[in-house]
Amino acid sequence: MSVTDKKSYALGIVIGADWAKMGIKIDIESFTKGFADTLNGTTPELTMSEIQNQMQLLQQEIQVIEKKDIEEEKQRGRQFLEENKKKPGVIETPSGLQYKVLRESIGKKPTATDTVEVHYHGTLIDGTVFDSSVNRGENIEFPLNQVIKGWTEGLQLMSEGSKFEFYIPSHLAYGDNGAGSAIKGGATLIFQVELFKVK
């Protein structure tokens, strides 16, 4: 396989992976022809109006699939939280935030406008780690009014020196948009947080 062949094949893999992940049905022969016609400067067999119309239909199909995926993710989160709140030591606030005290401490509690210094370990409900200052081996500082709602609410329950585990439903996390490739839209998140200092 030549360098050009490898490059072309790799591009096909990447494009194909995206469509396969979404479950979009594509006719490979037609796709290849359209791709080749564009690269070769051949006049398209569809008018620009027809192309735009097909792309709109494709976008609508993608939106339907994405909405379905988000609702399924939310449902998984709801089921998890429903079972989780029955476990010993788990407390649920009126907003739907759940937490468990891992280590209690007597010290200063932050307000929503304070900056805090913390260690945290974030996972999905299946245990997948998506972010962790613990794994990086470094504390992090941030203003509480510039993070997700679950953090803003949850950390105000903590005192310096304490360690909590938070179970954050999607409406208090990243909502339908998710965050990057690691956190899907509608995802419920779990964080272990150790509060070192309120600044």
Q: In the annotation, is 167 catalytic? A: no
Give the alpha-carbon dihedral of 15, 19, 22, 25, to 10 degrees. 180
Instruction: For residue 93, give every residue at least 6 positions away whose Cβ sits within 8 Å of its Cβ, in sequence order, or none.
Output: 99, 153
Out of 120, 164, 166, 167, the active site residue is: 120
CA-based radius of gyration for the chain: 23
Out of 31, 130, 176, 196, the active site residue is: 130
Q: In the annotation, is 27 catalytic? A: no
Q: In the annotation, is 148 catalytic? A: yes
Q: In the annotation, is 174 catalytic? A: yes
Q: In the annotation, is 191 catalytic? A: yes
Out of 168, 174, 183, 190, the active site residue is: 174
Out of 62, 125, 148, 176, the active site residue is: 148
Helix 48-84 vs helix 3-22: crossing angle, to nearest 10 = 60
Q: In the annotation, is 130 catalytic? A: yes
Out of 131, 164, 166, 183, the active site residue is: 131
Out of 80, 166, 167, 191, the active site residue is: 191
Phi, psi of 43 (to 5 degrees): -65, 125
Q: Which residues are catalytic?
A: 120, 130-131, 148, 174, 191
